[in-house]
Structures are given as C-alpha cells and as structure tokens.
A and B are shown apart, each in its own frame.
Chain A
Amino acid sequence: MNFDPRFSGRKFASVGTRPIRPDGVDKVTGRARYGADFNMAGQLVGRVLRSPHAHAKILKIDTSKAEKLAGVKAVITAADLPDLTDGDAAMYDVLDNCMARSKALYDGHAVAAVAAVDARTARQALKLIEVDYELLPHVTDVDEAMKHTAPLINDTIFTEGLEEKPVKPSNVTKRSQFGHGDVHQGFGHADFIVERSFKTEQTHQGYIEPHACVANVSSDGTADLWVCTQGHFVYRQHCAQLLGLEASKLRVTSSEIGGGFGGKTHVWAEPVALALSRKAGRPVKLVMTRDEVFRASGPTSATSIDVKIGARKDGTITAAEATLRYSSGPYAGTWAEIGAMTAFACYKLDNVKTVGYEVLVNRPKTAAYRAPSAPMAAFAVESAVDELAKELGMDPVEFRIKNAAQEGTRSSYGPVYGPIGIGPTLEAAKTHPHMKAPLGKNQGRGMACGFWFNFGGQTCVDLNIGMDGSVSLAVGTVDVGGSRASLSLVAAEELGIDYAQLKAVVADTSSLGYNDMTDGSRGTFSSSMATISAARNAIKILRDRAAQMWDIPVDDVIWENGHAIAKGEKYGNLAALSLKEIAAASGKTGGPIAGHSELVADGAGVSFATHICDIEVDPETGAARVIRYTVIQDAGKAVHPTYVEGQYQGGAAQGIGWALNEEYIYGKDGRLQNAGFLDYRIPVCSDLPMIDTQILEIPNPNHPYGVRGVGETSIVPPLAAIANAMSNAAGVRMTHIPMSPPRVLAAIEAEREGRA
C-alpha cells in the first residue's frame, strides 16, 4: 500500500456538509430493492423445517413422502451439505448451524429444507418430512449451564484457558483474563467498595428486514446469489467453502439492507438456498419469516456479571474487578472475552482484573450486535460506578472525570492509549443544558459512559471518470447507514468537484476486489481511506492527461479545486483545465480515466461516548418512559454529520429498547415464547423522545481526515444510563435487564416493604 493514512489537518469544502443521500429517492418511493425484492425467471420457493426441540438427537429423517409431492423440486438435509470445512472448527459450526447434522441444538435449528413451485406446496412438503428425535435434557440459562449438573451440550468441549487442562468436558468453552496491577492490594486501599451481580437477557438486533436471498447454481459450476447482507464478499467466501464452489465463480450481489447491526454478518439461509438450487437445477428464493429470524438467526448473549469496585474517600478508584459469563448459543464464541476487554476501558486504573467465561446454552448461535458484548459489561460497571459515586457523595460526572482514562493511560485491556475522547465527552456532559434541566415528580436523571474499539480491514474501491466528467464510485462495503453519501463527499473533496457530479454504488463480488464486511464501525472509516487513495490515483492520471493536452511535463501540472493548473510563469497564458474538459479529451489522450485502490485500513481509533437520560416511572405499574435523551460522542471527523447523528440516535434507540423491554423468553420446554414483534417489543417512534446529539471531533491520527468509526459505541451506555436514571427516579437499583414493568414494580414493592 503506497498511501499515507496520517491525519493531515486539511480544511474541508465538501466533507462536513449535509447533502441528501443518493439512495434516498428510491427508498422513500419504494423502488429500492431489498433482499426479498429480487426475482429470477423460474425461481422456486425455499422453506426450512426447524426443530421444535431445544436439544435432541436426530435418529432418522425420512423425506420420501415430501419428495413425491407434486411441485416439490428438491428436498435437502445435512447429507446434501457434506463437511468440506477441512478441520476449520469455526466453519464447521457455521455448517452445523445452517443444517443440523446429528443433533438439534436449539428450538428453531434447521433440520431439512425444500424447494417447491410455490409457498403452499413448500409448506405442505415440510409437513411430510418425518424426523425421529430422541429428546435430550436442555439448558437455556447461562448460570444454570455452568453448573456441574447441567446437561452437556457438546461432550467434546473442554474449557480452554485454564491453568490446568480439564479432565471433564464442560459447557464453558473458554476462560479469558485481562488486567494489570494487584486488585487485592487495591481493594485494601479502598474506603468504599461496591460489589453487585447483574444479569442481562438475550436480545435480538431487531432489523426490520428479515434475511432473504435468491440463489442460482448452474450446471457449469457457476452460481449467483442475491442477498441482504452486511458483507457480500465474506458471504461468498463462506458459501463457496461450504458448498465446494470456486469463490470466483460465485457472484454475490448485495441488496439494499433494512438493518443488520451485526446480525447480517453470518450465513444462515444462504448455503441452504444454494444447496437447494444445486439439487433442483433452478433458482431458489428463500425468505425467513419473522418467527424464523427470532428463533434461528443470531441474537446477542445473555449474561451474568459480578462487579466489584473500590475507591478512596477522595474519589480515586483503587481497584476494579469483574467476572463476566456470556452465553454463545450451542457453539463456541468469544463474546465474554470482548466483554472482559471493554468493561473498564473508560477508566484509568492501577489495579484491574476481568475474567470472561464463554458458555454454551440451547439457544440460537450468538451473533454480533452493535459493539458486541460491550453494552452488558458497561451496564454492570457503570451501574456500580454510579452507586460508588453516591456512596462517596460525589457528582457522578465529576467522579467519572476524576477517574477517566486519557492519553498515556494503560487501558484495562492492555495497551496504552493514544489521543482519546472519554474526557472531552464527560466535560461536554458536565456543561450540557440537559444536566441542569428541572425534573418533575417520579422523574430521574442518569448518565453513563461507553467504549468500543472500532476496526478497519481489507478494502477496495474503483473510481471511474466518465467522458462527460461525471464520476462513479464503486465500493465494496455494504451501505448500512448512508456511506454512499459519505464516500461521495470524500471523493468530491479530493477531486475538488461538486457532490452532485458523483454517484456511488456497492459493486458485486465479480466487479471489485475483496472487501471485509461492514462491521466494527468500519464502513466509512475504511472505504473513505480507499476512496481518498483511489481519487489521488485518478488525479495522477488527470494531471498526466492535462500535460499531454498542453504538451508540457507532467511535473509542471498541479491539481487544485477540480482543475489541472500549469504551474510557473512560463505557462501564464494557459487556462486551467477542468476535470470535465480533461475527461472529454480522454479518448485521445490514452483512454478511460480511473483510480483504483486496494488497502488494509488499519489504525481505527477507539471510540468513547457519554449519554444523559431522563426517565419517568409510574410507581403503580413499574412502567418507565424515556422523556429526554442526549448522546455525546467523539466522531474524529463527521463526514456527513446528519448520518453521524443518525448512528448516535439509532444506537441509543436500540439501547433503550434493550434496557426497558426486549428479551428472549424461553419456556421450561426450551422453546422460545415470544418470537414476534407483538411479544418481543422494540421501541417505536411514539415510545421515544427526539434524541439529542452532540458530535465531538477529536481527530484520529491514523486517517487523513481524522475519521473514527461511529456506528456502534452509541449502544453501549444506554442500559446503564437508564438503570442509573431508574435509581434516581424510583429509588431502586435495578440489576436485571430489561427493566420491564413487572421487574421494576417488584423492586419498588420490595423497597417499600423493606425487602430490598
């Protein structure tokens, strides 16, 4: 990579403005094509048969009756998806999750699938498939699953990360530990110690658009997949590996995406649709129902967390410790490890220790959800921090400012921080008008901080200049939050042209080099770096073409404000050449003009936020309502401030739902009881106030414009901010998320009766 990513401190003309988004008209007129909007001639309807049992051996699957039904073109089981993972344990888990092999591991686990001429026939066929199960004991609770008496979900799992190699299998797949100093000594120096245990229930990302795809496998070994995803290149790799296809012969096109938030980083239905199409010899469309999305895609972990924090009377934290237990579904994960890394990342701590345990349960395979694992850890830590501030008689903001990490602080997960934004977000909160606004009866205010790493990754961009001077930008990171607008602004900035001259598209996997998926808040961070690089490469060609047109050395040509300029007095009479003029002459100066870039965008800056929240609690019912909410977050540089604000608001809205209402509820039979939006209640517009935002811009030194990722951090503080507000509004310290009305009412009644 011949590209200098260092922050340059330039002044901006386009970046930082708020033009309308290029995909806006299609979206508001219903013309935008989402996953389920694509159709192919002769396509079949795919449907999946799912286990009704939480844990069961699959003794036999008889598909013969289904295969004989008129209109059925293919029936598949795990036998049609043989193991081609070549010892790759993580991919084997993906394969087993797509189609159960010897055991059904959760309610909703796929066991067979059909492709038929219409949905009615497909549904009938599913009823004709006979599956003989041998029921096994199950466990769905994270704490129960850790007990020695719990049913074993996978008897080949022995806990990793223990000092002594275990001799018995366990539902705990891994132990991880982070920290420094000596916490025992640190607690010895504390005047006040808060120690509490917390639980958070499993939630779903709640994207409005269900998973959907159309697969078409040809007899010549080529295939097409049209799919709703956060990463079509990654889907191509995974599907090709699982199906035994050559990656370059599988073209994957990403549709518009109606929300992903980490849930569309993982294949579920796509390998099944491809296997059905291969067997049927026709295209197959497979769209999950909402029930299937809840039961069989990837929700976040349920957690159980113990926190202990000690401080001196002057407000200095002397030690902090947490034990974090995260469920990962029936397959190994690293979710507790991430929670253990993020838990105390906001603070300057001499003595800190976190231990994470990854726990198998009979629930769907956990997937990432926006800053995965961080919100639960922050809920526990920020609740305890708030309680400690109260015990010390300190203002919660001042207490956090006193202990906030800063440049040069050793982070709780290991490295020393560079320039970071936790202090500035806290200072902004301290002076924000929200902090001084009056509160009414049964109302309370809370605040909390949050951290997320952010990352970059492999990225590729093409920038093509048309002969009319218009510019198309082909990117490979799926646009989940307005990145086509942001990247157009970046290209306009570099080229010195108007935003309206550009059109950005998300290219398919056969049209552009590999791109990692849009996750880790990397979309705009990474692709803007590649766009800058591609634009600069195009400018080199534009300068060369201008030099040809003038018949002067290219070294005498500079690029300024969208024009080639001949520098030096000897060229005083040469009028500047616009991009449009150079493009118009391109056919006679060497052909098409384009800029390409492929790079690894690394050095994403870590991100911090502080949130302030007011809630009102009905003491008769326990129902809580957020009445005012403010997000303060460091963006590095907001390329398109409206979409940065949108990310802040979206994360807060999801966090509010998680804090107050959302949870997976399992029955004693291990079956999910609320697999639908009527019973799993995400907040709608009428539930929320306008969420206020304040963007701070502390430049990331590792990006030419100072950009940091902004997509995830905003979901980290809300759980704790609301719990802290609840403590102030209703006088109860809630330790179990969600703080649903029954839980809050029970806590209020216990407090009244002196049972708390």
Chain B
Amino acid sequence: MVEVTLWGALGQLAGGQSKVEVEAKDIRELFRKLAEQYPGIEPWIEKGIAVAIDGTIYRDTWSKELPQGAEIFLLPRLAGG
C-alpha cells in the first residue's frame, strides 16, 4: 500500500482528498487503480500525469516501481521549451 498525494485539481476528482492510499507496485498499477477508484481521474491519466517518487519526476516510465514508504506525488505533465 502506498500513500499518494494529489495536486489540487486531481484531489477534487478524488472526493476532495489530497492523499489517497492505493495498493500498487508500479506506476502502471497505480494509474489503473486510481482510474478504477476515481473514474474522473482517467481522462487526466490519458492526457498525461507525472509521478514524483522521492522527489524524482517520472513522466513516461510506467514500469517504475513504487518502493514501500516512498513519497509518491502526482503532478501535471509539463511543457518545455
């Protein structure tokens, strides 16, 4: 079980919660279960969500494991120049 922090807009889609607990071993499973629990989040996942694991931001590595006790933080996917 990992604790996941959601940013404001996602939190609204999760019933106003800023933190949720999810049983997930990697980013792929995290997204799948988040979409199951909170269907409103699914379109955001499709558009792109970044996942910060202990401060390191992952945008596309859905196979990245979520270590027990790690800080998991969801962020908007960024544009760059």
Contact = CB atoms under 8 A, between A and B. Distances in A.
Contact of A453 (B7, B57, B73): B57
A418 B73 contact: no
A319 B54 CA distance: 24
Nearest to B81: A262
Contact of B76 (A1, A337, A456, A711): A337
Contacts of B58: 602-603
Contacts of B71: 415-416
A261 B76 CA distance: 21
Contacts of A177: 8
Contact of A455 (B7, B64, B78): B78
A256 interface: no
A673 B19 CA distance: 49
Contact of A414 (B52, B56, B61, B78): B52
B65 to A, nearest CB: 13
Interface in B8-64: 8-9, 12, 47, 52, 54-61, 63-64
Given A161-B8, A413-B75, A416-B71, A371 B81 contact: yes
Nearest to B52: A415
Interface in A410-464: 411, 413-418, 453-458
Q: Tell me which of B7, B55, B64, B71 has the highest count of chain A C-beta atoms within 10 A of its own C-beta.
A: B55
B12 A161 contact: yes
B8 A178 contact: yes
Contact of A458 (B7, B55, B60): B60
Given A160-B9, A161-B8, A177-B8, A519 B79 contact: yes
A456 B50 CA distance: 12
Interface string A135-171: 0000000000000000000000000110100000000
Interface residues of A, number: 48
A414 B75 contact: yes
A630 interface: no
Contact of B54 (A90, A418, A454, A602): A418
Interface residues of B, number: 25
A265 B12 contact: no
A520 interface: yes
Q: Tell me which of B12, B47, B52, B79 has the highest count of chain A C-beta atoms within 10 A of its own C-beta.
A: B79
Contact of A702 (B47, B56, B59, B75): B56
A338 interface: yes
Interface in A456-496: 456-458
B79 A600 contact: no
Contacts of A263: 81
B80 interface: yes
A334 interface: yes
A368 B79 contact: yes
Given A455-B57, A600-B61, A176 B81 contact: no
Contacts of B55: 411, 415-418
A176 B9 contact: yes
B56 to A, nearest CB: 5
Given A372-B80, A414-B75, A521-B80, A456 B59 contact: yes
Contact of A602 (B12, B47, B59): B59
A338 B78 contact: yes
Q: Tell me which of B8, B58, B75 has the highest count of chain A C-beta atoms within 10 A of its own C-beta.
A: B8
A370 interface: yes
B14 to A, nearest CB: 14
A177 B81 CA distance: 23
A331 to B, nearest CB: 13
B9 A161 contact: yes
Contacts of B54: 415-416, 418
B51 to A, nearest CB: 9
A193 B16 CA distance: 32
A416 B58 CA distance: 14
B7 A457 contact: no
Nearest to A521: B80
A410 to B, nearest CB: 9
A334 B80 contact: no
Contacts of A370: 81
Given A163-B12, A416-B55, A604-B57, A712 B81 contact: yes
A308 interface: no
Contacts of B59: 455-457, 600, 602
B81 A369 contact: yes
A272 B23 CA distance: 48
A177 B7 CA distance: 8
B80 A602 contact: no
A177 B80 CA distance: 20
A522 interface: yes
Interface string A492-528: 0000000000000000000000000001111000000
B9 A520 contact: no
Nearest to A230: B81
A204 to B, nearest CB: 12
Interface in A93-135: none
Nearest to B9: A161
Contacts of B8: 161, 176-178
Contacts of A90: 47
A252 to B, nearest CB: 20
Contacts of A604: 57
A370 B63 CA distance: 30
A174 B3 CA distance: 27
B3 to A, nearest CB: 13
A338 B7 contact: no
A606 B52 CA distance: 12
Given A178-B7, A416-B71, A522 B80 contact: yes
B79 A334 contact: yes
A702 B47 CA distance: 25
B52 A712 contact: no
B60 A414 contact: no
Interface in A602-645: 602-606
A370 B81 CA distance: 4
A341 B77 CA distance: 11
Interface in A276-315: none
Nearest to A260: B81
Interface string A202-235: 0001000000000000000000000000000000
Contacts of A415: 52, 54-55, 57, 71, 73, 75
A418 B79 CA distance: 22
Given A415-B52, A418-B55, A604-B57, A372 B79 contact: yes
Contacts of A602: 56-61, 64
Contact of B80 (A417, A520, A603): A520
A1 B58 CA distance: 15
Contacts of A205: 81
Which 9 residue pairs across A and B have the least CB separation, nearest first?
A: A262-B81, A520-B80, A415-B52, A368-B81, A519-B80, A370-B81, A415-B73, A177-B8, A418-B55
18 contacts: A161-B8, A176-B9, A177-B8, A261-B81, A262-B79, A334-B79, A337-B76, A368-B79, A368-B81, A371-B81, A372-B79, A414-B7, A416-B55, A417-B55, A455-B57, A520-B80, A604-B57, A712-B81
Given A262-B81, A416-B71, A453-B57, 5 more contacts: A370-B81, A414-B7, A417-B55, A458-B60, A602-B59
Interface of B: 5, 7-9, 12, 47, 52, 54-61, 63-64, 71, 73, 75-76, 78-81
